[in-house]
Structure 1
Amino acid sequence: MPVVNPDGYEHSHTHDRLWRKTRSRRDSEDYSGWLPWNWGRSECVGVDPDRNWDFHWGEQESSMDPCSDNYAGPNPFSEPETRAVGTAAEIRQPASGMSHDWAKARAGIKYSYHIDLRDSFGPYGFLLPGSQIVATARETWQAVRAIVDNLES
């Protein structure tokens, strides 16, 4: 069940390498947020699509502040990206409203996965050095291929 974010992906290549939110705009484009680190920002754009699913939406590791990187949106499925397809808690950290949780719990999809690429918890975080990109792609492909090859019909 691929979930894509084409506008956010393009923005990460042209403006902000670490961008992960959608590029949707709310009715009030001049919202500047109420948290101190948002003061002076004239526009808060997008929703974290991994926090926008209708399963324990807005409970943990998500924000109701539109300027936050993990903004869950005004309501579940507010984004066209999350409305188009349908638990990382045991593996990495509790986070709610994520696509794979919804796929399993609400859509009844038997196998749902959340893949975090390296180096989620290491020294680089989301800012992986270019020298590790090809190796990351290869190991991720091998993992996905092994999962698909071993699925029961």
Structure 2
Amino acid sequence: MVCYTLLRVIYEYEQEAYLDTLPEPSFHDLLDIHSFLIIPVVNLDGLHEIEHEYNLTKKLTYIRKNMHPIKKMKCRQESAENYGTDLNRNYDFAFAFDDLGSNPDPCEEDYRGPYAFSEPGTRQVKNLIEETPEGKGIKIALNFHAWGNLLVHPWSYIKKDFTAEIAMEYSDDKFHTYLKDTMCLTTIKGATRFYFKKTVPRCGHYNEQ
């Protein structure tokens, strides 16, 4: 979905160049004024594992974690799920808050890692945000959850009702349905979207129907 959206925006931008009059609003208005940082995928080795398995079996598998080997790990059953860390749970916000939204066990698929930003993928995201030039900070961040087909919104490190006025604002759009993160994904500690929230004033959460 992220790559599709990116290609669609580029295509529409190019098509507008052939028009005598630009529509309002136009993609030129959007792209000529604003800068976008797009990270198509963070878990590159997980993606590689999915592609490798598909080439062998022609079946689409689901890999939550990266393939970073963990020392002294002894699991009951050997599988790709035993390797690595769940990058979504490897950020520093509410890291290891409890063991409900992330797992200290390396053999589990929601293993959070030994410490926050222990993985190269999450460190790269951190560096990208922190290296944004002063005065040109990130104004809004959208985190797309590919497997659930969701744009997710903080916070979800505790199971608590969402702010009522924001929920109503999103629900008023008849083309979208408001859902709490805890309804969709359960509670998550040390997650990407919460790290963004520390530097971004507002994020969007829509579940497209």
Measured against the shorter chain, the TM-score band is: 0.5 to 0.7
**CA contact under 8 A between 1:32 and 1:42: conserved in structure 2?**
no
| Structure with greater strand share of residues | 2
Identical amino acids, percent of aligned pairs: 29
| Structure 1 spans left out of the alignment, 5+ residues | 34-38, 118-138, 141-153
Residue 51 of structure 2 aligns to a residue in which SS? helix
Q: CA RMSD in A?
A: 2.7
Confirm whether residue 53 of structure 1 aligns to residue 91 of structure 2.
yes
What is the CA–CA distance in structure 2 between the aligned matches of 1:114 and 1:8, rounded to whole Å?
Answer: 25
Q: State the 1:82 CA deviation.
A: 0.4
**CA contact under 8 A between 1:100 and 1:114: conserved in structure 2?**
no
Q: What aligned pairs does 1:38-117 form with structure 2 within 5 A after superposition?
A: 39-41=76-78, 44-59=82-97, 60-86=100-126, 87=154, 89=156, 90=162, 91-93=180-182, 94-105=187-198, 108-112=199-203
Moved over 6 A (4+): none
User: Normalised by the size of structure 2, how large is the TM-score?
Assistant: 0.45
What is the CA–CA distance in structure 2 between the aligned matches of 1:42 and 1:85, rounded to whole Å?
Answer: 28
Cα deviation digits, residues 58-117 of structure 1 (max 9, x gap): 224110111111000000100010011131524221211101101112xx12344578x7
Residue 125 of structure 2 aligns to a residue in which SS? coil
The letter of the residue matching 1:92 is D
Aligned partner of 2:62 among 1, 18, 37: 18
**CA contact under 8 A between 1:12 and 1:20: conserved in structure 2?**
no
CA distance 1:40–1:17, shift in 2 (3 Å): closer
What is the CA–CA distance in structure 2 between the aligned matches of 1:7 and 1:80, rounded to whole Å?
Answer: 11
Q: How many equivalent residue pairs?
A: 109
1:32 is matched with which residue? 74
| Structure 2 spans left out of the alignment, 5+ residues | 1-36, 54-59, 127-153, 157-161, 163-179
User: Normalised by the size of structure 1, how large is the TM-score?
Assistant: 0.60
CA distance 1:40–1:100, shift in 2 (3 Å): closer
Q: State the 1:26 CA deviation.
A: 2.2
Largest Rg, 1 or 2? 2
What is the CA–CA distance in structure 2 between the aligned matches of 1:4 and 1:40, rounded to whole Å?
Answer: 27
